[in-house]
Structure 1
Amino acid sequence: MAERELRTVLTGGGFFEGPRWRDGTWWVSDFYRHTVSRVTPDGRETVLFEVENQPSGLGWLADGSLVVVSMKDHRLLRFADGELSTYADLGEHCGGHLNDLVVDAQGRVFVGDFGFDLMGGGDAHAATLKRVDPDGSVTVVADGLQFPNGAVITPDGGTLVVGETLGNRYTAFDLGPDGSLSNRHEWAILGPEVTGRTTEEVLGQVVVAPDGCALDAEGHIWSADAVGGRVARIAPGGSIVESVAAPDGMGVFACMLGGEDGRTLLMCCAPDFYEHNRAPVREAVLVSTEVGVAHAGRP
């Protein structure tokens, strides 16, 4: 792994997720403090609001309002004018916690879910990717995904790539002007086909677990590897061309490119992802490092 200088940005988190760069600051969710915050590059945190049922993915609608996943009750929330409201209820389409999202240029939200009870050790099941249109309507646009998680949209708006955390792969779709997904194909193969059923079997077969991610200007994806304690820069096809290790004793569960020149890589780190371990303590950290290629596309 590359030896890069890591700078601590913020300590004292429960479990940071969904990092984004906007308006000169980082934006981040914290599962177990139930908070959504802005964090300046020098580490000053401002808590914006709380999400009782656990916040995750963040994005912005066409009108500039913020949307955030409320995981445990399967809702998308909208934050505008200092108030939270329900933007869409996706419970009908979720087999597990609602999770990460990406928003296209037209304000359509693409969001996945766990597919099963991960924290409770339930048997693994495939999940769907949902699209939430600006009128709040929900459409399932892809199924059979193995824990759809972090996703990116290319700068031309024509391709959506989603990580399958328990599938050893990234899967891509052509993204149509109407928000439809077509031409499903493998963008990166990171390990063998996963065939297990129990959580333990599946996790034992995962080689690289793509989690929160960011696209760069050379068309590579920086991906948090949820089982590898690193972020990996993945080329189309699946070659890992760079990787950066987490601080000792930590895993990495999301990352994002940002900063004024788009070359700061923010990493969301914690010792593990299990709720019973993370919720009672405040051991999660945000760290950053500098990389050579700037951010591109969405988020």
Structure 2
Amino acid sequence: MRTLLSGLGLLESPRWHDGRLWVADWTAGSIGRIDGAGRVRTVVEHKSLPLCFDFLPDVPGGEALVLASSAQRALLRLSADGTLTRYAELASLSPHGPNDIVIDGRGNAYVNNVNFDFAAGPPAGDIAPGFVALVRAGTARIVAADLSFPNGMAVTPDNATLIVAESYRHRLTAFDIAPDGSLSNRRVWAELGAHSPDGICLDRDGAVWYADVGDRCCVRVREGGEVADRIRLDRGAFACMLGGDDRATLFVVAAHWPGPQRLLRHTDWDGTVLAVPVSVPGAGWPGRVSAG
């Protein structure tokens, strides 16, 4: 394992696109691309917490970027001139802003929402108000509900299955994807014991890598829950992405976590980007650059 970058803010939403790793810096309110020299080039600035993004398939360069703005409760798309334009409105779905986003190979955007004020602390009882919305042709609708803090998401290479990390239920949950983008056949993909999955990605063997903040690790798990690999860190792992020219490098964004109540006022972040070589390359979305 090697450190690519250190001394950054709270990083999230790593994506591999156009031969580069992209990350969202929640502290700085920006999305940047890491160049070959290991420097972050800011592509767009947008103050939002959360701030996650993904890329439309078969669209070159930064114009493919779509970000989920919690601040505006909308999806915004990066234009050629560097400005952000409205891609879809989400305000009618919830009084709270979106969390994570994944865009499949057909251009369907899946956006989830924990549906409560995370910074104020979770509500009492079983926390299951979260949902996943489908954005298609500029229109958003809820396609899955009763999710307990939906977090990272991934779509299989055949566009047939969406996998969602339910952080507060300590599991990965899967859905079949219909041709129109609707979700059905909800099922538990893997129970994770006491682990709380955050960001996730898929590999070519169909396994999922998930990041775990509280247990300071990244774990590779197969359908059914068998643990195939574990990478231990000295700080919380927030998200991970398989990238590199052969997609056989696991990029992990990590930082010490102060807890949700201190999230908005915490300034002493120590965000890092780590790179770990793996034997099985990445597959599916996020990370695949085209539908072909």
TM-score (ref. length: structure 1):
0.88
Q: Distance in 1 between matches of 2:74 and 2:258?
A: 21
Alignment partner of 1:98: what SS?
Answer: coil
Confirm or deny: 8 A CA contact 2:50 2:98 kept in the other structure. Answer: no
Partners of 2:153 and 2:57 in 1: CA distance = 18
Superposition CA RMSD, Å: 1.6
User: Superposed, which structure 2 residues align to 1:173-252 within 5 Å?
Assistant: 173-191=175-193, 207-246=194-233, 248=234, 250-252=235-237
Partner residue in 2 for 1:202 = none
**SS of equivalent to 2:33:** strand
- Look up the equivalent residue of 1:75 and give its one-letter code: A
How much does 1:62 deviate?
Answer: 4.1
Which residue type is aligned with residue 111 of structure 1? V
For residues 178-219 of structure 1, the C-alpha deviation after alignment (integer angstroms, 9 at most, x for no partner) is 11111111111113xxxxxxxxxxxxxxx1111111100111
Task: State the alpha-carbon separation in 2 of the partners of residues 156 and 125 from structure 1.
Answer: 29
Alignment-mate amino acid for residue 148 of structure 2: Q
Contact 2:166 2:173 in 1 (8 A): yes
Query: In the alignment, residue 101 of structure 1 is paired with which amino acid?
Result: I
| TM-score of the superposed pair, with normalisation by structure 2 | 0.90
Return closer, same or farther for 1:282/1:122 CA change in 2, 3 Å cut-off: closer
Checking the alignment, whether the CA contact within 8 Å between 1:68 and 1:78 is kept in structure 2 is: yes
**Superposition deviation, residue 73 in structure 1:** 3.0
Matched-pair identity in %? 38
Aligned pair 1:72/2:67, yes or no? no
Counterparts of 1:259-274 in structure 2, within 5 Å, are 259-272=244-257, 274=259
Tell me: CA distance 1:69–1:264, structure 2 relative to 1, closer, same or farther (3 Å): same
Residues 208 and 226, structure 1, Cα contact 8 Å, conserved in 2:
no
Q: How far did 1:273 drift?
A: 5.6
Report runs of 4+ in structure 1 exceeding 6 Å deviation: none
Residue number among 11, 17, 28 corresponding to 2:23 in the alignment:
28
The C-alpha deviation readout for 1:143-183, integer Å capped at 9, x for no partner, is 00011111111111111111101111111111111111111
Unaligned runs of at least 5 residues, structure 1: 1-5, 192-206
Q: 1:85 aligned to 2:85?
A: yes
Q: Does residue 6 of structure 2 align to residue 11 of structure 1?
A: yes
Q: Deviations over 1:126-157 (max 9, x none)?
A: 21100111x21011000000111111111111
Letter of the structure 1 residue corresponding to residue 283 of structure 2: A
1:132: which partner in 2? 135
In the other structure, the counterpart of 1:105 is 105
Distance 2:192 2:13 in 1: 22
Measure, in 2, the Cα distance between the counterparts of 1:111 and 1:130.
5
Give 5+ residue unaligned stretches, structure 2. Answer: 287-292
Q: Report the counterpart of residue 196 of structure 1 in structure 2.
A: none
**Inter-partner Cα distance in structure 1 for 2:270 and 2:155:** 32
Offset of residue 298 of structure 1? 0.6
